Structure 1
Amino acid sequence: MGARGALGVLPFAATVGWAAWHLLQLTVWRDHADPGMSVVWLVSFCLLWWLPVCWLERPATVTEAEQRSVDALRVTIQIPVYNEDPEALHACLRSVFAQSRRVQRVRVVDDGSVDTATGEPLLYDAERAYFLREADSLGIEATWDRTPNRGKRWAQMHVLAEDDADVFVTLDSDSVMDEHAVAEGLKPFADPRVKSVAGLVVPLNVRTNALTRLTTLLYVPFTRGLRSAQSVLGSVLINSGTLALYRADVVRGHAGVYERETFRGVPMQMNDDSMLTMYARLEGRTVHQPSAVCFTLVPDRPLHYLRQQLRWMRGTTVRHLWWLRHMPLRSLAFWMPVVEYAHLVLALLVPVAVLATPELREQAGSLLQYTLVLACAMNYLISLRLFAVRRTDETLRHQVMMFLLSPLAGLWRLLVLRPLYLYAVATCWQIGSWGTRARVEVRASPAA
């Protein structure tokens, strides 16, 4: 397991033991108490099974022979664009050409971007000229197409359906890849069972304001927490569309169906990443490669952030229904939504049970105090994963300060994200094409 594994497993085990002991004292071993409460709390705690498992993840490595087979793979990077900040798009394209493992083809599809100030088409003339010129100088096949606005999936399949590559890389136009992202992301494909690889996505504009810092507190423990634990089991359920790699035959095999998904008769263009991941998971293993790093711009304004979260939550709700319908009963994908909704029900029932039971009402103060302490402990355990991402632009002092603020992320989940999630579940059919980008939403800083 090693020192890194112990960093996650030992605190988790200690917290479980401490929680169990105190729960038993508060319930089973106290006169006239309800022993069922201890069961409820312990079940809720066990729903965080992924916390110790995620520390077992290691980046995929290859032998010399395997590396030769990986080097032989023909790779196409596909970048859909819609109302993107020109500077962010330029930084994205620059990172593509800076890759240590050169790809064979790059395809950009502009899905009918519009300058909302004038109503005229947003053409990206300077970025297009740079893209075609740089690709030609490097000997990379490149295309830049502009299509009528139909949504991200149509922009993707406009070029991928007939592309003869072995591996497709999906890359968001507001994201910047580390120079070794493609080289590292291809390594898991040395295993023929692997059908998709999720890159490690971290916020680029983390220092912009309090919201982007809070987003990092929520984002990194997920990408290096739950997704890492799923990868240990070979069952990543949602790749981030920011950076993901797929066996090309998986994508081509669903051309014509993927872009026409509907829910309750409404075209479904959001959650393209989870749909492609589901296709891959039905055919083989889906993994995460933490050494394939991509930096992305996250919302820096509250309304944009809430719209993005609502879009993701609605899309995930729809995808849960697909998993329950199409994934095998023995698979993690089937049980993840069951666990998610069980957790949600327990979170709603526990306060009701406390208020409805006279014995528990008398202990409400002790239970609340215990809950707050345990919640802080759990948030700190989750946020240990912040230290699993090493950045040259981030000092250890900054990481420690972010870690110390972890309970704020828990409070945000409880007071903002949980009610928003309930609303998203109740309105999951209200889905759109790009969702958050009716105009340029986040602008790149000069440093990007």
Structure 2
Amino acid sequence: MSGKRRRMPVLAARQHRSGSVLMGILVLALAAAWAVQHATSAADYDSSATNRLSLVWAALFFVFMAQTLMYHLERPRRLTPRLARQLDELHVSILVPAYNEDPGYLRLGLESFLRQTRMPDSVHIVDDGSTSSDYAEIRDWWAWAAREAGITTTWQRVPNGGKRHAQAHAVRVSPEADIYITCDSDSCFAPNAVAEALAPFARPRVQSVAGIVIATNNRANLLARVTDLWFTTTQLVDRSGQSAVGAVMVNSGPLAAYRAGIIRDNLGSYLNETFMGRPVMFSDDSLLTLYAQERGLTVQQPSAVVFTAMPEKWSHFSRMYLRWMRGSTIRSVWRMKYLSPARPAFWLHMLRWFQMFLVQMVTVWLLVVEPIAFDNLPPASLLWVPFLIGWAQGLRYLGVIRSDERIRSRALTWLMMPLAIVMAWTALRWLRWYGIATCARTGWGTRQNGAEVSLGVPAAAPPVEPPVTKLYDLESENTLEIALPAR
């Protein structure tokens, strides 16, 4: 392929911690509490119903405030020079399974490995029998670029067997690895992602590390914006709270790191998981996280950021979300069966189900039972509660500073939180319960006919010179030239 290729900017991001974010969350939470109190007093409930609802609202706000405290306790692991030198001695292997991926996104991700401040020692790509492309040009370029950068690499093309089997092929050719970093074929690492993902492993008890996933295509359309807002907020709220006690329950596919023994020692059960007699083809990241939980701490490193392609069409999004909900149901069964009650992850898992059922019961009571049985519609002021809480938690989204987007654009996305709330309370709620009811359908369901999201640029390009790379400094807003480490 010839011609010029539009160059993507170097994507970088960091989390900005500010006391003003916490204050904003508390103010919006208090406003939500006031709305509840006003609605309860204004409604024509009898005294017993008012007392019951008051207890329920108090329980929900207690959970909300406890969650707020927990996710503000999360801190990225900082390294001393001595610990950094120790971690540099670890052999880090990146596993890249690819199936019908857009060539532009695949190349963008491979280029990001060459820009790391801490280079990976090896990268292993497995083409899982793609039918849309053989990636010949990308493969030839990558072999040259990896060699120039001093990165050991393999590129295998194998019969289609699913993501887990593709990862297993990569594991088998990297027996020297101390740390495995798993990613997707559309993952684009921020320049310090590998270094930051390694930092928590300075603690011997840490078994896995989750990165923060944000959208490469967050401004493609309204769905991509709202999905990026919802997904980023979920990570920086739910998962940050779990990380504060070393009990992250699900790592994300675009960026996660594991001690090598977690994957090697469980490879047999990982490849042969079944549920109700059927092989499970999805929820691989949550299963690896469960293996890690059984051995020690599972944490999130909010300074390890990866960009990935979010769905741009509802059909793609709904299939992805259904797969998540089915996998979440299966994984809940395994947590109940295999996790010890002595581990915080067990109780956080129970709390999540309690919270989900409590919210569902309150919703049905207010919107169905009261109007039909007692002819008592809930006051309009009650409608503000989910939006105020959503905006409060969504302030965490504004704390992610990106090199490719100005704060006013992110503020515009944050203001769209009511759309995310409405989507969560309608379509996603139905999909959740449908996913729970159909959890025995364990097929993957996407990319059967090729990539569903395209970068929109050709895959071929003039060679990237590995010895020198340009990084965008988020603090000074300058572009820096940094020499890659000699190998």
Normalised by the length of structure 2, the TM-score is: 0.84
1:308-327 alignment runs, 5 A limit: 308-327=320-339
Tell me the residue number matched to 1:75: 92
SS of corresponding position for 1:107 = strand
Aligned amino acid, residue 364 of structure 1: L
Residue of 376, 382, 402 corresponding to 2:413: 402
Question: Structure 1 residues 341-350 or 132-141, which shifts more?
Answer: 341-350
Q: CA deviation at 1:6?
A: 3.2
The CA distance in 2 between the partners of 1:236 and 1:298, in whole Å, is 22
SS of equivalent residue, structure 2 residue 78: coil
1:191 to 195, 203, 227: 203
Cα deviations across residues 256-289 of structure 1 (Å, max 9, x unaligned)?
1111111111111201100111111111111111
- Residues 148 and 8 from structure 1, CA distance in 2 versus in 1: closer, same or farther, beyond 3 angstroms? farther
Displacement, 1:361?
Answer: 3.4
Partner of 1:227: 239
**1:349 is matched by which residue type in structure 2?**
M
Tell me the amino acid that sits aligned with residue 223 of structure 2.
L
Identical columns (%): 38
Alignment counterpart, residue 254 of structure 1, candidates 263, 266, 274? 266
Give distance in 2, aligned partners of 1:95 and 1:11. 40
1:62 and 2:79 aligned: yes
- Indicate if the aligned counterparts of 1:199 and 1:288 stay in contact, CA closer than 8 A: yes
Contact 2:36 2:385 in 1 (8 A): no
Output the amino acid matched with 1:435.
G
Q: CA deviation at 1:37?
A: 1.6
The Cα of 1:12 is off from its aligned counterpart by: 6.2
Q: Is the alpha carbon distance of 1:370 and 1:22 closer, same or farther for their aligned partners in structure 2, counting shifts above 3 Å?
A: same
Give the letter aligned to residue 86 of structure 1. Answer: P
Matched position secondary structure for 1:278: helix
Q: Distance between the aligned counterparts of 1:84 and 1:356, measured in 2? A: 48
Q: Any unmatched runs of 5+ in structure 2?
A: 1-16, 460-487
The equivalent residue for 1:38 is 54
CA distance in 2, matches of 1:376, 1:144: 48
Contact 1:231 1:288 (C-alpha < 8 Å) held by counterparts: yes
Q: 2:176 aligns with which of 142, 150, 164?
A: 164
- Structure 2 counterpart of 1:14, from 23, 30, 52: 30
Q: Pick from 438, 447, 453: which aligns with 1:437? A: 447
For residues 399-434 of structure 1, the C-alpha deviation after alignment (integer angstroms, 9 at most, x for no partner) is 2211222111100101110000000000001011x4
Residue 83 of structure 1 aligns to which amino acid in structure 2? N
Q: In the alignment, is residue 387 of structure 1 matched against residue 387 of structure 2?
A: no
Amino acid at match of 1:79: V
State the match for 1:341 in structure 2: 353
Q: Residue 347 and residue 408 in structure 1: after superposition, are their counterparts in 2 closer, same or farther (change >3 A)?
A: same
Pairing 1:148-297 to 2, within 5 Å after superposition: 148-161=159-172, 163-297=175-309
Task: Provide the residue aligned with 1:364 in structure 2.
Answer: 377
- Whether contact under 8 Å (1:33, 1:360) holds in the other structure is no
* Structure 2 counterpart SS, 1:364: coil
Classify 1:44/1:93 alpha carbon distance in 2 versus 1 (closer, same or farther; 3 Å): same
Which amino acid is the alignment partner of residue 169 of structure 1? Answer: I
Q: Secondary structure at the match of 1:240?
A: coil
Report the Cα offset of residue 52 of structure 1. Answer: 3.4
Q: Which residue of 2 aligns with 1:52?
A: 69
Tell me the amino acid that sits aligned with residue 122 of structure 2: R
The answer to whether the 8 A contact 1:282-1:327 is kept is yes
- Unmatched segments (≥5 aa) in structure 1: 116-121
What's the TM-score once normalised by structure 1's chain length? Answer: 0.92
Q: Following TM superposition, by how much is the alpha carbon of 1:181 offset from its aligned partner in structure 2, in angstroms?
A: 0.6
Matched residue, 1:109 = 126
Give the Cα–Cα distance (whole angstroms) in 2 for the partners of residues 95 and 132 of structure 1: 15
Does the 8 A contact of 1:178 with 1:292 survive in 2?
yes
From the superposition, tell whether residues 309 and 31 of structure 1 become closer, same or farther in structure 2 (CA, over 3 Å). closer
Q: Answer with 153-162 or 341-350: which moved more.
A: 341-350
**Following the alignment from structure 2 to structure 1, what is the Cα–Cα distance between the partners of residues 414 and 371?**
38
Amino acid at match of 2:257: L
